[in-house]
């Protein structure tokens, strides 16, 4: 009796383990020249090539990726957008948060389990580098795909705004006192699959799963397929019940997985249009005010020798993601133990430079990566004061936390949380004002995603359960706004991370640059409540290098 009930379970376990594989990659980060829109410029590529490769794995696999910085003149790093990093927060990638930047000539190995299926992407989380090209798709296939059998082929479609100038100079120009309108740099064009347009071979009778990813730094992309309706099955890395969408608005860093069936009507080429949307409030501004500086057309090609017509779209009414239903029907988490309210607005620092703030404070890089402070400050690590001006919040293990973002700006902003697919409880239209603190009526089973577009002069209520110890950022995914300071730091379960040790190659990258990796934000290890040396004012100049000097209290216990 014991055997008959025990053995099937055991063999299932072995089957699952046999399937889990290790995906190895060895990547040199290098400068490459490329001209995706016909204009040649230096871009950041991998192993001497650009576009960067697609990483593919299956749920449960371990990715082991060694990155070597061969740029010569800039630091670098990689973040794996949308991956939860369960008990591997130190593999998340943002510089000054979960690691030191990787200096020229050095390496770092990222090793983590891809615990959930979905469409993800990787990108540099250092120096605004991803608009310079350091980004690519990360696809995690699902052996238990609930939509298996409903599609025949997969297509990756990446969309992005594109700049002819390099990020560092764009950020330098943006952070000038004369930029009193807080304007980000405006893109020079749109690129699709890191090039000009896309032709997708379509065959009557087949259904295609499009994995749509935005690599954009600023603009959202409006997408419409002529005569073919999209069926959304995933928002970021969360399955939804199949939902029809005539058009989509894809904000920077968002993903949509959609099914498209080839229509049987005729055998010709159908265009799909992708237009950059830099309108501040597309839902309310009259169509003639909508700025369409650039668009690109791709084709569903059924007849290669046929004609290639243009798609004409006169009205944009993209699908409303918040009304979609999670496929698993998961209920709203609760009860809520903590509400973090973040009022976002632009602001000016003491030097008169333009910044973007949560509750009046821009995020300011500190000396010690925040996660390293968590691990080395004992029971003081639950005190937000030791982390400096990184907009730190301590989240208690197991608790349910609401994050309320009041967008006081007159434009839409896409906010991203690391480490979670959050529930979107409330996402009203433009001009709803700030959240008034009242209990709302929301979906019993709210949709989930990791990047949400928050409407102008409106708000969002996002909910998570604190099940993932680590340091996870929450920030606007307009890359220029990150560089302006629009980031908060969620320090989750710090008490579980005391004395956790980090891979030696990660620590070595700090040592090589003289960056302390223990103690509080300034590297004070003797008295972690001593805030001297904290960075309290954003730097006056923005460069590819930051000079560090070790505080006198810092003692390295690692031989260099």
Ligand X SMILES: *[C@@H]1O[C@H](CO)[C@@H](O)[C@H](O)[C@H]1NC(C)=O
Q: Which residues bind Cu ion (CB under 5 A)?
A: 413, 476, 478, 481
Q: Which residue is nearest to Cu ion (CB)?
A: 476
Interacting positions 42-101 with ligand X (CB under 6 A): 42, 73-74
**In this structure, are strands 22-34 and 62-69 parallel, antiparallel, or unpaired?**
parallel
Interacting positions 480-499 with ligand X (CB under 6 A): 498-499
According to DSSP, residue 185 is labeled P
- Report which of 116, 86, 97, 149 is spatially closest to residue 449, judged by C-alpha positions: 116
Q: Which does 438 bind (CB under 5 to 8 A by kind): Cu ion, ligand X, none?
A: ligand X
Binding mask 136-175 for ligand X (x = CB under 6 A): ------------------------------x-x-------
Q: Which does 413 bind (CB under 5 to 8 A by kind): ligand X, Cu ion, none?
A: Cu ion
- Minimum CB separation from ligand X for residue 437, in Å? 5
Q: What are phi and psi of 114, to 5 degrees?
A: -90, 95
- Encoding tokens for residue 474? 């929450």
Q: Which does 527 bind (CB under 5 to 8 A by kind): Cu ion, ligand X, none?
A: ligand X
- Count Cβ atoms within 10 A of the Cβ of residue 87 and give its class: 0-12 exposed, 13-18 middle, 19 or more buried: middle
Residue placing its CB nearer to Cu ion in the complex, 211 or 475: 475
| One-character DSSP codes across 470-527 | EEEEEEES-HHHHHHT-EEEEEE-GGGGTT----HHHHHHHHHTT---SSSTT---S-
Q: Hey, which residues does 394 pair with through a beta bridge?
A: 491
**In this structure, are strands 247-250 and 118-123 parallel, antiparallel, or unpaired?**
unpaired
Q: How many CB atoms lie within 10 A of CB 297?
A: 18
Establish if 198 lies at the interface with ligand X (CB under 6 A). Answer: yes
Q: Which does 313 bind (CB under 5 to 8 A by kind): ligand X, Cu ion, none?
A: ligand X
Task: Tell me the C-alpha distance between 536 and 548, whole Å.
Answer: 15
When binding is defined by CB under 6 A, the residue of 544, 546, 548, 556 that contacts ligand X is 544
- Minimum CB separation from ligand X for residue 309, in Å? 12
- Minimum CB separation from Cu ion for residue 485, in Å? 11
Q: Which does 292 bind (CB under 5 to 8 A by kind): Cu ion, ligand X, none?
A: ligand X
Task: Tell me the C-alpha distance between 179 and 264, whole Å.
Answer: 53
Q: Which does 436 bind (CB under 5 to 8 A by kind): Cu ion, ligand X, none?
A: none
Task: Tell me the C-alpha distance between 19 and 41, whole Å.
Answer: 42
When binding is defined by CB under 6 A, the residue of 172, 229, 261, 295 that contacts ligand X is 295
The tally of CA atoms less than 13 A away on the side-chain side of residue 362 is 23
When binding is defined by CB under 6 A, the residue of 308, 384, 445, 503 that contacts ligand X is 308
Establish if 442 lies at the interface with ligand X (CB under 6 A). Answer: no
Residue placing its CB nearer to ligand X in the complex, 32 or 408: 32
- Minimum CB separation from ligand X for residue 17, in Å? 32
- Minimum CB separation from ligand X for residue 203, in Å? 16
- Report which of 544, 479, 484, 365 is spatially closest to residue 133, judged by C-alpha positions: 479
Residue placing its CB nearer to ligand X in the complex, 288 or 379: 379
- Minimum CB separation from ligand X for residue 41, in Å? 8
Task: Tell me the C-alpha distance between 499 and 308, whole Å.
Answer: 61
Residue placing its CB nearer to Cu ion in the complex, 301 or 364: 364
Binding mask 269-288 for ligand X (x = CB under 6 A): ----x-x-------------
Numbers of helices and strands, H then E, in the chain: 5, 30
Establish if 536 lies at the interface with ligand X (CB under 6 A). Answer: no
Establish if 31 lies at the interface with ligand X (CB under 6 A). Answer: yes
Which stretch, 6-14, 113-121, 252-260, 527-535, contacts ligand X (CB under 6 A)? 527-535
Task: Tell me the C-alpha distance between 422 and 400, whole Å.
Answer: 11
Q: Which does 544 bind (CB under 5 to 8 A by kind): ligand X, Cu ion, none?
A: ligand X
Establish if 317 lies at the interface with ligand X (CB under 6 A). Answer: no
Which stretch, 245-253, 362-370, 402-410, 525-533, contacts ligand X (CB under 6 A)? 525-533
**How many residues form the binding site for ligand X (CB under 6 A)?**
29
- Report which of 161, 219, 127, 123 is spatially closest to residue 418, judged by C-alpha positions: 123
Beta strands in 54-114 (DSSP E): 55-58, 62-69, 79-81, 107-113
Interacting positions 360-399 with ligand X (CB under 6 A): 378-380
Q: Hey, which residues does 24 pair with through a beta bridge?
A: 64
Bond prior to 477 in cis (omega within 30° of 0): no
Residue placing its CB nearer to ligand X in the complex, 292 or 548: 292
Q: Which does 476 bind (CB under 5 to 8 A by kind): Cu ion, ligand X, none?
A: Cu ion
3-class state of residue 16 by DSSP = helix
Q: Which residues bind ligand X (CB under 6 A)?
A: 31, 42, 73-74, 166, 168, 196-199, 273, 275, 292, 295, 299, 308, 313, 378-380, 437-439, 498-499, 527-529, 544
């Amino acid at each position: 009796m014991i055997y008959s009930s025990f053995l099937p379970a055991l063999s299932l376990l072995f089957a699952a383990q046999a399937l889990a594989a290790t995906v190895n990659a060895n990547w040199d980060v290098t400068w490459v020249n490329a001209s995706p829109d016909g204009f040649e410029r230096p871009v950041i590529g991998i192993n001497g090539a650009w576009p960067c490769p697609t990483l593919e794995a299956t749920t449960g696999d371990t990715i082991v990726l060694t990155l070597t910085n061969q740029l010569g003149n800039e630091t670098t790093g990689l973040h794996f957008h949308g991956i939860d990093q369960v008990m591997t927060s130190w593999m998340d990638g943002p510089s000054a948060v979960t690691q030191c930047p990787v200096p020229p000539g050095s390496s770092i190995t990222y090793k983590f389990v891809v615990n959930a299926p979905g469409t993800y992407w990787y990108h540099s989380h250092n120096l605004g580098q991803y608009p310079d090209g350091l980004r690519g798709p990360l696809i995690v296939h699902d052996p238990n795909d609930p939509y298996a059998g409903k599609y025949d082929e997969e297509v990756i479609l990446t969309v992005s705004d594109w700049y002819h100038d390099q990020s560092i100079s764009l950020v330098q120009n943006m952070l000038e006192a004369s930029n009193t309108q807080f304007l980000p740099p405006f893109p020079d064009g749109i690129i699709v699959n890191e090039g000009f347009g896309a032709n997708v071979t379509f065959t009557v009778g087949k259904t295609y799963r499009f994995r749509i990813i935005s690599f954009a730094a600023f603009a959202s992309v409006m997408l419409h397929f002529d005569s073919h309706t999209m069926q959304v099955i995933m928002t970021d890395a969360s399955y939804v019940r199949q939902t029809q969408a005539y058009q989509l608005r894809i904000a920077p860093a968002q993903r949509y997985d959609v099914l498209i069936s080839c229509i049987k009507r005729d055998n010709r080429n159908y265009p799909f249009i992708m237009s950059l949307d830099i309108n501040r409030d597309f839902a309310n501004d009259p169509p003639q005010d909508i700025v369409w500086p650039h668009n690109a057309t791709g084709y569903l090609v059924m007849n290669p020798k046929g004609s290639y017509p243009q798609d004409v779209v006169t009205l944009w009414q993209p699908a409303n993601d918040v009304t979609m239903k999670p496929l698993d029907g998961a209920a709203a988490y609760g009860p809520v133990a903590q509400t973090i309210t973040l009022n976002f607005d632009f602001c000016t620092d003491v030097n008169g430079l333009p910044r973007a703030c949560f509750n009046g404070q821009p995020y300011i890089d500190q000396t010690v990566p925040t996660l390293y402070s968590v691990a080395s400050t004992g029971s003081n690590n639950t005190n937000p004061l030791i982390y400096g001006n990184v907009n730190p919040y301590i989240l208690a293990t197991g608790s349910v936390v609401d994050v309320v973002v009041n967008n006081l700006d007159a434009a839409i902003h896409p906010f991203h949380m690391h480490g979670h697919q959050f529930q979107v409880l409330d996402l009203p239209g433009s001009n709803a004002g700030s959240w008034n603190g009242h209990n709302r009526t929301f979906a019993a089973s709210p949709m989930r995603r990791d990047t949400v577009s928050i409407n102008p002069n409106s708000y969002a209520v996002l909910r998570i359960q604190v099940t993932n110890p680590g340091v996870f950022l929450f920030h606007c995914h307009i890359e220029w706004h990150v560089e302006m300071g629009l980031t908060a730091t969620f320090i989750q379960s710090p008490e579980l991370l005391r004395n956790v040790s980090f891979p030696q190659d990660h620590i070595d990258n700090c040592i090589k640059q003289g960056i302390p990796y223990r103690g509080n934000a300034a590297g004070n290890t003797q008295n972690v409540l001593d805030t001297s040396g904290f960075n309290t004012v954003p730097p006056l100049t923005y460069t590819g290098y930051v000079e560090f000097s070790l505080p006198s209290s810092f003692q390295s216990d690692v031989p260099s």
